Amino acid sequence: MAEYTMHILVCGGTGCKASQSELIKSNFKTRLNEYGLGDEIQVVLTGCFGFCEKGPIVKILPDNTFYTQVTPEDVSEIIDEHIIKGRQVERLLYKDPETKKTVGTANGMDFYKKQIRIALRNCGFINPENIEEYIGRDGYGALGICLTEKSPDDVIRIVKESGLRGRGGGGFPTGLKWELTRKSVSDQKYVVCNADEGDPGAFMDRSILEGDPHSVIEAMAICGYCIGADKGLVYIRAEYPLAIERLKIAIRQACEYGLLGDGILGTDFNFNIEIRYGAGAFVCGEETALIHSMEGHRGEPSVKPPFPAEKGYNGKPTNVNNVETFANIPVIINKGSAWFASIGTEKSKGTKVFALAGNINNVGLIEVPMGITLREIIYDIGGGIKDGREFKAVQTGGPSGGCLTKSFLDTPIDYDNLVAAGSMMGSGGMIVLDDTSCMVAIAKFYLEFTLDESCGKCTPCRIGNKRLYEILEKITDGKGTKEDLSRLRMLSNVIKDTSLCGLGQTSPNPVLSTLDHFYDEYLAHVTTSSCPAGQCKALVHYTIDAEHCTGCTLCFRNCPVGAISGEKRSAHYIDQSLCIKCGVCFEKCKFDAVLIA
Amino acid sequence: MNKIKNLADLKKLQSEVQSKIKLRENGNHPESVVQIKVSMATCGIASGAKEIMTYMIDELDHQGIDSVVTQTGCMGYCYAEPTIELTIPGQQPVVYGFVTKTKAHEIIEKHIKLNEMLDGIIPVTYLLIDN
């Protein structure tokens, strides 16, 4: 049996494969066999390190050396120097871009500081259905410290000093919210956890509840202690059955262990948590609508003030926080506000979880410090754009947000910068778009979502968004005029200014932000009736370039409507009156003879 | 389970759990066993993590390999589900993505039994707060 003492990991991600990482691997193997080390040192092709601009990457275990931009020719040097003589190959080590110093091991690299797991600290580590595993990782220790050593005001001060802001999207300072609810005088108060995650593409709250439900329970109890509430409610959508199941198990276990219930940890603090189910309406993520829904009324927002901190659930002071916000709390108590405040930017502290999706290689859930740039997220963590295409924009903030273009690739991401750029943090959906995405169609997609989800209570949102959608439809159908563009902008601003709640006030954002950043694209739709990205079916025409067509008949055989005709080995032709613009001919053609115009 | 009555009780339980985990991961101890965590959030389950977990438990049991297979939450590698984390006692944990039954079989035969890593390891590239 081979007993490997050393492992050489070669990155086999898409980017590195393109730069010959497979050849690097085989070179390593050949060289090692020449030295007779094939049984002692194993060479493995790994998944993507995410650090593609510095690829191909080679990592040596167990000493954790990290080599960047390795070529197949470098292999002999690495073996001769590193493996045989035990000396690192200096010139291939990663150089810190700021200090210009080489970094010997992977642990010292700033690349590894690009993701810090605070809210996701236990996701993927512990068994969420076993409370002891949570306790083993400092679980409920923060609650213990708060109850026995700190006054509610102390704890609120810590949360305030940490600079934590609401992770649901708005970014309201959490400590301040707690303080306001604490100051409200009442015989009964409530802590509510908002788990009504509704942005298309965002799923961090679900992942936290599924992977680490106790962190939310612990934080809710801490919040209850601070504001003077003995009752907590989790508002969660019924379409998250696994999260609900794990949460139920966690609540039951916490009660069994005496970490929920009466007289927690020998103090006179009582706290219980119940679950309330939502039907999955987007507007119920808005806190007043959420509270109405919990009370059994229609999920419609109401005018603020009064804020829930004064008059919330059942007319009593209520503190509503998002799942991810709560998940940060125990760590802030355990590690201190100064530690938390040392991460992030001046006005946005800590980390944010993003759901990375769209045309990007490493789709996934990432947790990054505030202030990271889009470039770092896309190219150092996300592994770059799929199929090596061109980056076009990133959509953040879901239906309330907007698009960030190339010019924002190096903007530090935090609440305020995103708002200044015409988008917003939102709950953390991040959809990466490449050059094949039509921005008018993207705006239309989000508006269609808002249209479905508008509760209909106020006129600007109910009717305004419908009209907005109709104009967009007119444009993507090729029937728009230049006047429609100014009408879009005017109507958007009216909806923003006059809607009752956050949903309507932000619903035109995708339209406004694409109008700002991609005006040319809108203009092309209305003036030349063309879609530059080739996505709007009504504006696209498929034709066959007779010079390049070899008459292979592939398009003819695949056309679902028989719109293509032609003889074998001679140029084919598309009958425009029959063509349904499905694009199959374009995808199938091996000779790039099908053109989109 | 007796209720945790005070902070000292909680701390005691915490250190008990921690030493249990250490025991499991510490290489030169007779009680040390192979540990596998299967990422079982909604996304993982949808891509077949449950079948992989059952397969691993059955297969390891069948072959008489002393092991602990547990479920855990989302590791974040949505593009590579189902994902598992494998810890051989005394070694760093290794994450595998795109784990099909064939791959799971290979992991048992090669990595667990022969300590031979397989292609397709997912490099873990984030900082944890406890270090």
Q: What is the DSSP string of A113-174?
A: GG-EESTTTTTTTS-TT-HHHHHHTTTTHHHHHHHHH--HHHHHHHHHHHT-B-TTTT--BH
A543, A468 Cβ separation under 8 angstroms:
no
Average pLDDT over residues B99-120: 91
Highest mean pLDDT: which of A20-24, A184-188, A528-532?
A184-188
Is the confidence at residue A90, as pLDDT, over 90? no
Taking only the tens place, the pLDDT of each residue in A40-66 is 888 988 877 777 778 888 988 888 888
Q: Which residue of A210, A218, A225 to mutate against B (max B Cβ within 10 Å)?
A: A210
Taking only the tens place, the pLDDT of each residue in A449-476 is 999 999 999 999 999 999 999 999 999 9
Taking only the tens place, the pLDDT of each residue in B27-69 is 666 567 899 999 999 989 999 999 999 999 999 999 999 889 9
Partner residues linked to A193 by β-bridges = A234, A321
Q: What are phi and psi of A116, to 5 degrees?
A: -125, 125
Q: Give pLDDT, residue A106.
A: 66
Please tell me which of the candidates B77, B115, B118 has its beta carbon nearest to residue A3: B115
Chosen CATH of A6-113 out of 3.40.30.10, 3.40.309.10, 1.20.120.1200, 3.90.1640.30:
3.40.30.10
DSSP-assigned states of every residue in A545-557: -TTT-----HHHH
Is the confidence at residue A597, as pLDDT, over 80? no
Q: What are phi and psi of A115, to 5 degrees?
A: -125, 125
Distance between start and end Cα atoms, chain A: 62
| Nearest CA distance, B25 vs chain A (angstrom) | 14
Q: Give pLDDT, residue B30.
A: 59
Round to whole Å and give the CA distance between A68 and A388. 20
A133/B17 Cβ within 8 A: yes
Q: Which residue of A242, A377, A381 to mutate against B (max B Cβ within 10 Å)?
A: A242
Instruction: State the pLDDT confidence band at A112, using cuts at 50, 70 and 90.
Output: low
Round to whole Å and give the CA distance between A17 and B72. 31
Round to whole Å and give the CA distance between A554 and A326. 56
A381, A361 Cβ separation under 8 angstroms:
no
A136, B17 Cβ separation under 8 angstroms:
yes
Is the confidence at residue A6, as pLDDT, over 90? no
The CATH classification number of A131-337 equals 3.40.50.11540
A564, A574 Cβ separation under 8 angstroms:
yes
Average pLDDT over residues A235-256: 95
Which two tokens mark B120? 């397709």
Instruction: State the pLDDT confidence band at A1, using cuts at 50, 70 and 90.
Output: very low
The larger pLDDT score, comparing residue A261 to residue B92, is at: A261
Round to whole Å and give the CA distance between A504 and A514. 18
Q: Is A432 helix (H, G, I), strand (E, B) or coil?
A: strand
Q: Give pLDDT, residue A107.
A: 66
- What is the layout of strands, in order, in the sheet containing A402-405? A364-369, A351-358, A429-434, A391-396, A402-405
The larger pLDDT score, comparing residue A156 to residue A113, is at: A156
Intervals of CATH 1.20.1440.230 along chain A: 439-527
A363/B78 Cβ within 8 A: yes
Structural domain spans, chain B: 1-25, 33-122
B42/A364 Cβ within 8 A: no
Q: Give pLDDT, residue A49.
A: 77
Q: Give which of A210, A121, A63 is closest to B127, Cα–Cα.
A: A121
A132/B128 Cβ within 8 A: no
Q: Give which of A433, A410, A379, A364 is closest to A52, Cα–Cα.
A: A379
Is the confidence at residue A307, as pLDDT, over 90? yes
Alpha carbon separation from A43 to A31, B103, B118, B121 (Å, rounded)? 11, 18, 9, 12
A522, A515 Cβ separation under 8 angstroms:
yes
Round to whole Å and give the CA distance between A261 and A258. 6
Is the confidence at residue A2, as pLDDT, over 60? no
The number of beta carbons lying within 10 Å of the beta carbon of residue A528 is 11
Contact residues, chain B, for A363 at CB < 8 Å: 78-79
Average pLDDT over residues A20-32: 91
Determine what percent of chain A is predicted with pLDDT higher than 70: 97
At position A396, the amino acid (one-letter code) is T
Q: Which residue of A127, A138, A328, A386 to mutate against B (max B Cβ within 10 Å)?
A: A127
Fold (CATH) for A541-596: Alpha-Beta Plaits (3.30.70)
Question: What letter does residue A307 receive in the DSSP assignment?
Answer: P
Q: Tell me what ipTM this predicted complex has.
A: 0.85
Average pLDDT over residues A481-508: 94
The CATH classification number of A351-434 equals 3.10.20.600
How high does pLDDT run on average in chain A? 91
Instruction: State the pLDDT confidence band at B99, using cuts at 50, 70 and 90.
Output: very high
B117/A4 Cβ within 8 A: yes
DSSP-assigned states of every residue in A28-66: HHHHHHHTT-TTTEEEEEE---S-GGG-S-EEEETTTEE
* Weakest-pLDDT range from A99-108, A223-232, A521-530, B56-65: A99-108
Cα A147 from chain centroid (whole Å): 34
Round to whole Å and give the CA distance between A110 and A113. 5
The larger pLDDT score, comparing residue A517 to residue A11, is at: A517
Taking only the tens place, the pLDDT of each residue in A352-387 is 999 999 999 888 899 999 999 999 999 888 888 988
Which two tokens mark B107? 């992991």
Fold (CATH) for B33-122: Glutaredoxin (3.40.30)
Q: Does B8 touch chain A (CB under 8 A)?
A: no
DSSP-assigned states of every residue in A314-344: GGS-EEEEEHHHHHHHHHHHHH-HHHHHTSB
Round to whole Å and give the CA distance between A375 and A467. 36
How high does pLDDT run on average in chain B? 87
Round to whole Å and give the CA distance between B105 and B96. 13
Q: Under the phi-then-psi rule, with left for phi > 0, alpha for psi from -120 to 50, and beta for the rest, what region is A350?
A: left
Show Cβ contacts of residue A49 under 8 Å, excluding neighbours closer than 6 positions: A11, A13, A16, A55, A57, A59, B123, B125
Please tell me which of the candidates B79, B121, B127 has its beta carbon nearest to residue A364: B79
Average pLDDT over residues A203-207: 92
Partner residues linked to A556 by β-bridges = none
The CATH classification number of A439-527 equals 1.20.1440.230
Q: Give pLDDT, residue A448.
A: 94
Contact residues, chain A, for B43 at CB < 8 Å: 203
Please tell me which of the candidates B72, B76, B77 has its beta carbon nearest to residue A127: B72
Average pLDDT over residues A126-133: 91
* H-run or E-run covering A293: helix A287-294
Q: Give pLDDT, residue B92.
A: 83
How buried is B92 (Cβ within 10 angstroms: 0-12 exposed, 13-18 middle, 19+ buried)? exposed
Q: What is the CA radius of gyration of chain B?
A: 16
Round to whole Å and give the CA distance between A240 and B49. 17
Which two tokens mark A44? 């493995």
Average pLDDT over residues A471-489: 94
Which two tokens mark A90? 């200096």
Give chain B as a 3 state SS string.
Answer: CCCCCCHHHHHHHHHHHHHHHHHHHCCCCCCCCEEEEEECCHHHHHCCHHHHHHHHHHHHHHCCCCEEEEEECCCCCHHHCCCEEEECCCCCCEEECCCCHHHHHHHHHHHHHHCCCCCCEECCCCEECCC
Is the confidence at residue A108, as pLDDT, over 90? no
Determine what percent of chain A is predicted with pLDDT higher than 90: 66
At position A595, the amino acid (one-letter code) is L
Round to whole Å and give the CA distance between A440 and A417. 24
Q: Report the predicted TM-score, pTM, of the whole model to 2 decimal places.
A: 0.87
Which two tokens mark A190? 């409530």
Give A564-578 as a 3 state SS string.
Answer: EECCCCCCCEECCCC
